[in-house]
Structure 1
Amino acid sequence: MPTTCFDVANYFFSRLDEDAGDVLSNLKLQKLADYAQGFALALLDRPLFPEPLVAWQMGPVCPPLFRMYAIDGPRGIPAPPLIDLSVFPAVEIELLNEVWEVYGQFAAWKLRDMVLTEAPWRETAVNDVITHERLKAFFLTQLRS
């Protein structure tokens, strides 16, 4: 069974240290999902999850994921009590670890500012799906730089 955007969200929740005050807002979760999907397309030549990313005003958004956590608004989303990472093959865990290490350190608004300068969002009309082809092409350039 393929992983979903909710599995990817659970991975990022699993990396939080809530005792240290780590939180994950919906905004930050959306941007991390975008980076995870883009790098999966570039490195694995396939999407990490089947749900689309859409160009919204504040950057790429996975609408089902957004709706799931919309009630939490900008506050931190409570992590689910049980997270099963066994749904991911080792290569996907490696990719998600790298995305977290590089991008998880940034605040939500910093990530938003970053994605608003990037081609996949800039070259997609608001409310249109950001194509896998566009994501892959851009993230391949990021691997080369």
Structure 2
Amino acid sequence: MEAVDVAKWFLSKESMSPKKIQKLVYYAYSWYLTLMNETVEGINNRLFDEKIKAWVHGPVIYSIYNEYREYGYHNVPKQDTDENLYTEDMLDVFQQVWDVYGDYSANELESITHQEEPWREARGELKPLDNGYDSIKDETIFSYYLEQMEDE
């Protein structure tokens, strides 16, 4: 699975900005990682292999950035996708992410990710507008979202 394939599933729901796409794909990755692995030491099941970077406006997957960068702050048009690309588990996670986060704006999603440990840890001591290129660690994602799920 490629990150852009995940983005296309969300774009099959509605037209949205590249920033919103980034955040929805980040949450899909995070939830899939958390739900499809048993322990933080045994993370083998990832939605895609690409690293997620902690950029100024939140988590970013470079291939998605590159795919939709021409749209800037404008919405990417709604797209069709082939549901057969995805496993039942993937579709279940995507739908859950959509149900929870789909109604938020890109700026609201950015704000939410900025309050969460995975992005904050990867940013470290960077100032708010400093460029950062560190990856968000899968172990931090797993631990953080597992704790969130256990608290509900």
Q: Tell me if both proteins adopt one fold, taking TM over 0.5 as the criterion.
A: yes
Matches within 5 A, 1:1-145: 3-16=1-14, 23-45=15-37, 46-80=45-79, 82-125=80-123, 126-145=132-151
- Answer whether contact 2:13 2:78 (CA < 8 A) is retained: no
- Aligned residue for 1:124, secondary structure, equals helix
Per-residue Cα deviation, 1:97-134 (whole angstroms, up to 9, x for no partner) = 00001001101100000000000000013210111111
Amino acid at match of 1:89: T
- Aligned residue for 2:109, secondary structure, equals helix
RMSD of the TM alignment (CA)? 1.0
- Aligned residue for 1:74, secondary structure, equals coil
How far 1:79 sits from its partner (Å)? 3.0
Q: Unpaired segments of 5 or more residues in structure 1?
A: 17-22
Report the count of equivalent residues.
136
CA distance in structure 1 between the partners assigned to 2:115 and 2:144 by the alignment: 12
Q: What is the percentage of aligned positions where both structures have the same residue?
A: 32
Q: Unpaired segments of 5 or more residues in structure 2?
A: 38-44, 124-131
- Aligned residue for 1:55, secondary structure, equals strand
Q: Could you list the structure 1 runs, at least 4 aligned residues long, displaced by more than 4 angstroms after superposition.
A: none
- Aligned residue for 1:128, secondary structure, equals coil
